[in-house]
Structure formats: structure tokens, C-alpha cells
Structure 1
Amino acid sequence: MSVLSSPLQIPLKEPLLSFCKATADTLRLDILRVLSQESFGVLELCHIFETPQSGMSHHLKILANAGLVTARREGNSIFYRRALIGADDPLSAVMESLFETVDQLPMSTDVLGRTQEVHSERSARSQEFFARNVDRLKQNQDLIADYSHYSGCLSDLLSNENLDSEASVLEVGPGACYLLDNLAEQFTQVVAIDNSRAMLEKARSTLSRKHAGRVEFIHTNIEALSRPARLFDLIVLNMVLHHIPSPAGFFSQAARLLNPEGLLLIADLCPHDQDWAREICGDLWLGFEPTDLDHWASEAGFSKGQNAFLGLKNGFQVQVRLFHLTTTHSPLLNKERTYD
């Protein structure tokens, strides 16, 4: 641990006092633990910790004033996450030490259970939307990002990796099957999973005859997908991450299913403020900061590969990101310990 070689200056004392105040409370430490790889709204945190909204808002304000959490507006909702540590922050060393220590704290089975309830509620909303809108989904999603506008970029990034035609490929949430169709033409072993039975059956009816024997369709989500005997060489998400209840957690699940040095290819939206996308397209998240994807990927054992950013005429921006798995396991999988 490094030691300051000179006395604290006055400008540093106030942030340090705020830091000490914020961390001198068990519930606030538990909040920081839960926000390690997640974003939650105030009401979701109230449910997780069984705390009244007024009390939770008070704790979040103290943590925010200390620079330990940040808030992001998602349409009409505000979500909180743990702050990223800036290299020029005078308290960066102590913040890093705090977060590392907090991440070693066990989470009670009750808190873990209620956190999963929040994820399940998010997932249920998403599944309900797709069940109601299976026949209108392509038309609705084209209002945001027509696949043809960025398909060439996806193809170029994949082509540059020179994957063998017998590589094992997983697509999560194939949707209208445009990308799945392309994958099945390039690779002989493709698996498509979806937690919406209606969407999966639509995908099956669209492609099963054309690519008989090349594509296996499984009704599940990535968390429940069993680790296959042959791990995947490539996992692909095309405009799916913003439908996933826990985007950060997805990266550790992908790492669990990939071969060492496997690839993760993601096409999704950059942050936007078009709240109508929730109702029209069933989006849980209004895009992602590229730095968030980088951080979540790094925490799960990935390194950044090639990427591209494409601005669309309607104002949305698409990010196409490629990540390489650099370790044989995800650090996140080893962090969750519980106590009774």
C-alpha cells in the first residue's frame, strides 16, 4: 500500500471526510457490493434490501456525494451503479482498495434471492413483450436500427478473424434470423437460444428447412444453458444485450461457455434518450456506454478487439464490438459467496 509523502491538503480533506462517512455504514457497504457489476433503480434496491424508499434515497445520496456511485437516467427512470475510478482521482487508491475489499464480502442468501427476483421480473417483462409482439418485432426494431445498415460491418469483423467453418457458434436471441441465416451459411455447428418460445419457434420455422442439420434451436437463456461438452468458439448478440436483465452478468456467462481465446461479438446501441423504445421494442436498457462494455468485458476476462461505431440517419448510433477471451475462467464466477 502506498503512503502519502506529504500532509493532506485542504481540498482533499472534504472528499476524504465524505468517503469515510459514506463507508461507515453496513447497509451502504452492502449497496456497493450489490452494485459491483449491476445497475439498479431505487425501487429495485428497496426490494433487494427491504428498505423504505426515503431511506434508500438517503443512502444513495451519501454514496453519490462521496463519488462512490453514479446515476444514469434511462428515459423516465434513474439507475445507480458503482462509480468507475478515475486515474486522476486523488482518492483512487483508497477507492480501489475499498471496492476490492467490498467485493470479498459475502452476500446473504436473502439478498441474493431478492436480487434474482429483480432479474426475473425484468426477464418476465421482456418475455411478455415478445410474446405479444412476435409478428411486429422486425417492423418495430427497424425503426431504430435496420440490420442492413450494419450487417456489412458485422461480416467484416468476423471475416478478419478467419474462423474455421467447423467452429462452434452460439447466437443469443436470433430475432428475425438475418444474422443467424448468415452464420449458418458460414459455419456448420450453430446453436440459437431464446428465452421467448414464440420468438424461437418463429426462428425455427424460418430457417430449419433451409439449414437442416446446421442449426440447433434451444428454448433457454444463457444463465440456464448447460456448459456443452464442446465449448463455443464464438458467441454473438445482435441487438440483444439491451433486452438482458443483467448486461454485466452476461459477460461472465459468455466466458463460462467459450473456449480459451474464444470470441464474443456484440452489436448494440450507444446510449440514447428515446424512452419510446421500451414500449415499442421492449428494451430494458437505452443503449450502453462503450466504456461500460469494456469494463464488464475486462472483469470477465476479455480483452478488446476490433470495433466500429456507425451513426444512423435517425440519430441512433450502433456499436459493433469484438472481445477476445484471455483467461480460462471468469473472475466474476468466483466472487459470489453466501452466508446463512
Structure 2
Amino acid sequence: MIAQPLPTPTAPAAILALSKAFADPLRLDVLRLLQNNSFGVMELCHITTTPQSGMSHHLKILTGCGLLETKREGTSIFYRRAMLPQNGFLSDLTKTFLETLDQTALSPELLKTRQEIYDDRSQQSADFFKRCAAQLKENQDLVASFEHYSGCVGDLIGNENLPRETRVIEIGAGESPLLTSLSSTFKSVLVVDNSAEMLKKTKARVEQEQLKNVHFMLQDYDTLTLDFPADLLVCNMVLHHLPAPAAFFQKAAGLIKPKGKLLLIDLCPHQQDWTRDICGDLWLGFEPDDLDLWASASGFQRGQGAFLGLKNGFQLQLKIFTAHSL
């Protein structure tokens, strides 16, 4: 057991502050809601049916004792669980309490109102793709054109030595040339998209390039079911469009066979808020540690990966995760 630092003279105050933070049912609800999620103040107000002034008070208490932290997404502020220090004298107590708290299910009312927030985020994304599908590829290329990281993707997939019979699913392929590469490498590729407009663009590209082994499914990712699990699930610059990024990994764990692979490509954190307007981004990149944490919590083991800095200032992260074995 790692020795904990000796309490300081301010230890009683810290213990009282932590006890106070835990001693309120609404604050416990907030902590559970933020287990693997980030929400803004008004979103938390909606989920918990709490006035903004009251919610701000509770968030101040939780943040003040180190249980929550804020993350800026452009002009918006989101709250999330804080990373606990490894050797703080209250770390073991806090970790044990949170682990116990997380075993308690959210009430049906909270689940319902949380889903309303997810649905609202999804609708924002769907409305954007319906409105801007025609110029989306051009806009996305302003951020990260596939040609800038295609070689790295090829190396990552090649190093896995996957057989040609590998069953591949790509989520939200759009007009990215990655689909062409997957089609030429593997026997069959299934493209899943929840936007009819974007799936139409994908089909047009497939027909133009005469790709005979690509199949299509118009379906929301969170309700996706498969007759057979995938050997390789590809998520290329899609995660930042999803309403609940951590839930993506939980869903992926049920879609990939044991020891199957997840290829994830997305942006590192940035503050280029204009990507919301022209690319429909819900999230401005992700901390690499967050992706690893969400993946691990869903039973994935991190494998090879790479980071690529682009001339426009954005940084890409490319990661391969392996699903747990039975």
C-alpha cells in the first residue's frame, strides 16, 4: 500500500469540506451524472430541474473541494469529474466513496432528462449535416485533410496484420478517402451513418470509385445492432460529433468481437470555436488521457498510436484499442 502524506494543519477543514460536498442528494446526483460525461450549467439545470442559482451554488461546493473541474469548449464551460491526486491524504476515501456512489443507478427521471440533453445534442448535429452536407468535406479539409494522415493510418492498420477477411465497420465515413483504402484492404466494409444526406454522399463516392464490397446502413450509432460482431471498428473524425463521447466506447465494446480492434482518429483539445459553425463539431477535441480512460473503463486495452501536428495548428491523435477477450 502506498503511504499517504501526513495531514496538514488544514486537514480538518478539508475533511469537513469533502463531507459537506457529499452530504446533499442533489450533489450526489451531479457526481453520478458526471461519472463519464461533461455537462454545462444549464444542461445540469435541465436534467435535475434545478434553478441556475441553486445549481451554481452546488457546483461551486463540488469544485471547491476538488471533486469537479471545468473544461472550456470555445465559449462554453463544461463541468466534469476531476482527476483525483494519487497520493493525497483524502484520495483513498474519495475514491472509495465515488466507486460506491457509481454503483447506485440514476433515477428514471434523471435518465429521462439526461437523454433529452443527448437528444438535443444529436439533433443539433443532425440539423447541421442536413443543412451543410454539400460543403462539409471542403470545410473539414480546412481542419484535417485525410491526405495529411493517410500514411500513418496505413501504417497503424498494416502493423496489426489483419487478414483480408476482417469484417470492418466505419462509423460516419462521409466522403473521406479512408473508405477507399479500407475497401481495397479488406473483403467487406459496412458504413453506418445516421444522416441520410451524408450516407447519400458516401454512396455517390462509392459508385464513382466502383467499390463493390461496401455496404450501407442508415442507423443511429447508439441503437446499432449487428448480426455478427466486427473485427475492426473505425471512427475517423466522428467522435467530436457524438453527444456522449464516453458512451461511444461502451457501445463499441458490444459491437466488436473479443480481441477485435477499434481505430479511433480525432483531434486533441483546441479552442478553434469556428469549427462548430462550419464543421458541426459538438466537442473541441479530446484529452488523450480521457480517451484512454473511457476505453479502459469499457474493457479496451490501448495498443499502438501516434500524434500528428498539422500546419494549421491542429493536432491529431490516432489510437488503436483492442477489445477484451472472453
Q: TM-score, normalised by structure 2?
A: 0.96
Following TM superposition, by how much is the alpha carbon of 1:214 offset from its aligned partner in structure 2, in angstroms?
Answer: 1.3
Amino acid at match of 1:142: D
Q: Is the 8 A contact 1:208 1:215 kept in 2?
A: no
Contact 1:184 1:211 in 2 (8 A): no
Verify the 8 A CA contact 1:130 1:196 in the aligned structure 2: yes
Change (3 A) 1:41 1:327: farther
Q: Secondary structure at the match of 2:259?
A: strand
**Which residue does 1:334 correspond to in 2?**
none
Deviation per CA, 1:89-144, whole angstroms, max 9, x where unpaired? 32221111111111111211111011111011001100111111111011111111
Deviation at 1:8, TM superposition (A): 4.2
Contiguous gaps of at least 5 residues in structure 2: none
Contact 2:261/2:320 (<8 A) preserved? yes
- Asked if 1:254 is matched to 2:252, the reply is yes
Partner of 1:333: none
Shift of residue 221 of structure 1?
Answer: 2.0
Unaligned segments of structure 1, at least 5 residues: 329-340
2:304 matched to which residue of 1? Answer: 306
- Give the superposition deviation at 1:9: 3.5
What's the secondary structure of 2:228's corresponding residue? coil
State the percentage of identical aligned residues: 50
CA contact (8 A) 2:258 2:323 kept: yes
| Superposition pairs of residues 180-329 of structure 1, within 5 angstroms | 180-208=179-207, 210-211=209-210, 213-226=212-225, 228-328=226-326
SS in 2 for 1:136: helix
> Do the aligned partners of residues 208 and 109 (structure 1) sit closer, same or farther apart at CA in structure 2, a change above 3 Å counting?
farther
Query: Offset at 1:213?
Result: 4.5
Q: In structure 2, how many angstroms separate the alpha carbons of the residues matched to 1:152 and 1:6?
A: 48
> Cα distance, 1:7 vs. partner?
7.7
State the Cα distance separating 1:177 from its structure 2 match.
Answer: 3.2
Equivalent in the alignment of 1:331? none
In structure 1, what is the equivalent of residue 149 of structure 2? 150
In 1, distance between residues paired with 2:70 and 2:291?
A: 17
- 1:1-340 alignment runs, 5 A limit: 8-208=7-207, 210-211=209-210, 213-226=212-225, 228-328=226-326
**Cα deviation code 1:259-295 (max 9, x no counterpart):** 0011111110000011111001100000000000011
Using a 3 Å threshold, how does the CA distance of structure 1 residues 315 and 210 change in structure 2: closer, same or farther? closer
Q: Displacement, 1:161?
A: 0.2
Structure-2 separation of matches of 1:186 and 1:8: 59
Cα deviation 1:148-184 (Å, max 9, x = unaligned): 1111111100000000111111100101131111111
1:212-264: per-residue Cα shift (whole Å, max 9, x none)? 541111111221111x2321011111111000100000001000100001111
Equivalent residues of 1:266, 1:321 under 8 A apart: yes
Distance 1:47 1:122 in 2: 13
Higher mean displacement: 99-108 or 56-65 = 99-108
Instruction: Provide the rounded CA distance (Å) in 2 between the counterparts of 1:311 and 1:102.
Output: 40
